[in-house]
Chain A
């Protein structure tokens, strides 16, 4: 099977003088879905941005292994990281609201590498999200939240990624739609053999599909659960996170 994994080692990151991430180490093995759990303001999104090169880590290493080749992501430009096959579904979807669904998808394949196989990937997306295929000419901003989230996922798929980073897919969605979105991520992962790192605050939904998970508190990894069960039955999580 195609091999793609992500290793984050001792990463520190800060916005100016404000330190956000302290010595975080995470690894995502090939074909795994790993959940990064934590409430608002604990550094989940920042960590995602570090991987994408949008925020430059102050220290530490981020290594992506794709088909046996190791790439040190720290210091690479975002577009190069995208070229490697790492795609981010940003928090809050971040679609281009005044463009149509089709245009949003085509923009997902901005890189020359992705443009080369734009037709195949576009058909892929239409197949994976028939709902979007019905609405190709509709403005992205006029769709419901759930549909927009699907479009955000599909746009990332236009890059034919190997590693998919999903930042808070549940933001602003009704509970039923959260469950549907999470299911969609699972299906995509199984179907296209993706390696997924998902930041989420909706604990119960996230661990439904996660193989493993980390709990991040104030920019530090507070707990590492080696299985979904371990996360489920952990006192620390109940205390820190669920407030029970």
Chain B
């Protein structure tokens, strides 16, 4: 029996609420910090999978979209501090009433900026296929990083400080700020999973699958391939931007080399690969597994071991389970049914 999207959304909300309640009951700051990272990778991996898994277009530029979301937040935050410098009188008063923008709005901005970037990148590069597309996306990340390094307004190569408030007032209740960020990221993860699953079972998802399997055949069937691919890059980019938007508030100090870090590009590919790329479950499982392993390694061994773990797990999975954990489980189930 297949659960429809509305029901699935309710289930996701229930699970999300349970996770939130548990975290609130536990109430350890470290737990929030660590889980935030894992949730962020769930969003990134799911976003990557919409283009890379469903459509078969490997994107090496995840870090670029993530960083664009993060830097759009920085830009808007900086704007707040410079209002009095640039404007005066009643206009400045109006701006002061609006700024600083709440993080959900920043997330929306991040989504728009990265979504537009995704659309633009798609429009320019989607005529390329296979490894050529992957190389083009890698180049996008390099170009953008160079731009940001030379953009004084957002801090250039020195980076930008964003002092996170201690807590936030919410309908009379004071909430620890990191708990607030954790809640937002949890919500984003829920939205991205519901979206990914809805796409999977929709006409659009079938269009994606035909492109992944055989683009020429897809065209012969009348799938408007370029438009479908543009939808994929836009959605994928937008979700990555959303994941990046709260990041400056989480990290406190954002510099280009951390926002464009290799770990984002590598993790958002490795996680769906390890979990399995054909379904929304894959990136979820992969992100939880790999994300937790990295968090564990960070506190026990060293944070530099992270990428080594990813590399080893990726190699291992390519050998043992080339279709990811999902493929492995499906294989077992098939063998079980046919004794």
The residues of A with any CB-CB pair to B shorter than 8 Å are 52, 54, 77-79, 82-83, 87-90, 94-99, 107-108, 110-111, 114, 155-156, 159
Q: By CB atoms of chain A within 10 A, which of B213, B216, B219, B222 has the most?
A: B222
Kindly list chain B residues whose C-beta atoms are within 8 Å of the C-beta of A110.
203, 206-207, 210, 221-223
A77 touches B224 (CB 8 A): yes
A54–B225 alpha-carbon span in the complex (Å): 11
Q: Among B219, B221, B224, B225, point to the contact of A107 (Cβ < 8 A).
A: B221
- A107-B206, A110-B206 known; A96-B222 Cβ under 8 A: no
Binary interface encoding of chain B residues 193-215 relative to chain A, with 1 for a CB under 8 A from any of its CBs, else 0: 00000000001001101100110
Can you list the 8 inter-chain pairs with the closest CB atoms, starting with the nearest?
A: A82-B222, A94-B217, A79-B224, A111-B222, A96-B213, A88-B220, A79-B222, A78-B219
A225–B214 alpha-carbon span in the complex (Å): 35
Q: How far is the CB of A224 from chain B (nearest CB, A)?
A: 27
A114–B220 alpha-carbon span in the complex (Å): 13
Q: How far is the CB of A244 from chain B (nearest CB, A)?
A: 35
A95 touches B217 (CB 8 A): yes
A216–B209 alpha-carbon span in the complex (Å): 35
Closest to A103 in B: B206
The residues of B with any CB-CB pair to A shorter than 8 Å are 203, 206-207, 209-210, 213-214, 216-217, 219-225
Closest to B220 in A: A88
User: Could you list 28 examples of A-B contacts with CB < 8 Å?
Assistant: A52-B219, A52-B220, A54-B219, A78-B219, A78-B222, A79-B223, A79-B224, A82-B222, A83-B222, A87-B220, A88-B220, A90-B216, A90-B217, A90-B220, A94-B214, A94-B216, A94-B220, A95-B214, A96-B209, A96-B214, A98-B213, A107-B210, A110-B203, A110-B206, A110-B207, A110-B221, A159-B221, A159-B222
Closest to B214 in A: A94
Kindly list chain A residues whose C-beta atoms are within 8 Å of the C-beta of B220.
52, 78, 82, 87-90, 94, 156
Q: How far is the CB of B118 from chain A (nearest CB, A)?
A: 22
Kindly list chain A residues whose C-beta atoms are within 8 Å of the C-beta of B214.
94-96
Kindly list chain A residues whose C-beta atoms are within 8 Å of the C-beta of B224.
77-79
Kindly list chain B residues whose C-beta atoms are within 8 Å of the C-beta of A83.
222
Kindly list chain A residues whose C-beta atoms are within 8 Å of the C-beta of B217.
90, 94-96
Q: Among B206, B207, B216, point to the contact of A54 (Cβ < 8 A).
A: B216
Kindly list chain B residues whose C-beta atoms are within 8 Å of the C-beta of A89.
220
A61–B222 alpha-carbon span in the complex (Å): 21
- A107-B206, A110-B203 known; A155-B221 Cβ under 8 A: yes
